[in-house]
């Protein structure tokens, strides 16, 4: 699985970290940019959602989940 990192200003979200750390970073983005640029907050949340799908599909291939 590839490492995915999103950098917004000085905030770096490394999606290979644990879920709590990722959620804290997303909250930082929301706190810093929520009023100024809500689209940036939505974008970072969409990247997180897409990464979750990517991670799940990668796990399915790795463990051989039957459909």
Task: Give residues with Cβ within 8 angstroms of 6, minimum separation 6.
Answer: 12, 13, 15, 44, 47
HSE-CB for 51 with a 13 A CA cutoff: 19
Find residue 8's DSSP bridge partners.
11
Distance CA(55)–CA(9), nearest Å, equals 25
Distance CA(1)–CA(23), nearest Å, equals 20
At residue 65, the pLDDT reads 55
More confident residue, 43 or 67: 43
* Tens-digit pLDDT profile for residues 14-36: 998 999 999 999 999 999 999 99
Residue 15 in contact with residue 5, Cβ under 8 Å? yes
* Tens-digit pLDDT profile for residues 45-59: 999 999 988 888 877
């Amino acid at each position: 699985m590839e490492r995915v990192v999103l950098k917004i200003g000085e905030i770096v979200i490394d999606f290979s970290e644990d879920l709590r750390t990722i959620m804290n970073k997303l909250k930082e983005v929301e706190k810093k940019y929520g009023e100024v640029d809500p689209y940036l907050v939505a974008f970072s949340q969409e990247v997180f959602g897409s990464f979750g799908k990517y991670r799940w599909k990668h796990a399915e291939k790795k463990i051989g989940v039957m459909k």
